[in-house]
Amino acid sequence: MPNHPVVHLEIPARDTQAASKFYADVFGWELQTDETYNYVMFNAGSGPAGGFVTINDTPNEQNVQYKPGEVLIYLGSDDIDGDLAKVTAQGGTVLTPRTEIPHIGWFAVFTDLTGNKIGLFNGQPQQG
């Protein structure tokens, strides 16, 4: 049986530094900034970790638009391309095809039948 656990969350914010500090101060989350990607990551203890993404009015270069109130959930995937094929076969739409995050892994984003955005993530190198 395939295993697709929730592995990462992205919380949109106009000011990612202020938002990350808010969550760290309120909930005691550990923060780490990746200067390469200007990305503030959090570790909330048990459960998935995540990061803070900048709200944008139009889709970015990966065709993802981040809006207030729309937390993006990433599911673990051993076969992103295979999962995206299943998404489209069931009527979903691929927003971002499998895309490399250099030295980290791969991700993709799709919408389900309702229009919810969901991400897929694989932290292991893939062929292709």
Torsion angle of C-alpha atoms 92, 117, 5, 88, degrees rounded to 10: 10
- Please work out, in degrees rounded to the nearest 5, the angle formed at the alpha carbon of residue 61 by the alpha carbons of 107 and 81: 30
The distance of Cα 83 from the centroid of its chain, to the nearest Å, equals 16
Measured between its terminal Cα atoms, the distance across the chain in Å is 25
Those residues with Cβ within 8 angstroms of residue 25's Cβ, 6 or more apart along the chain or in another chain: none
Going from N- to C-terminal start, the domains of the chain cover: 6-122
pLDDT at 2: 62
pTM score, two decimals?
0.88
CATH superfamily of 6-122: 2,3-Dihydroxybiphenyl 1,2-Dioxygenase, domain 1 (3.10.180.10)
pLDDT tens, 6-28?
Answer: 999 999 999 999 999 999 999 99
Per-residue pLDDT band for 46 (boundaries 50, 70, 90) equals: confident
Per-residue pLDDT band for 110 (boundaries 50, 70, 90) equals: very high
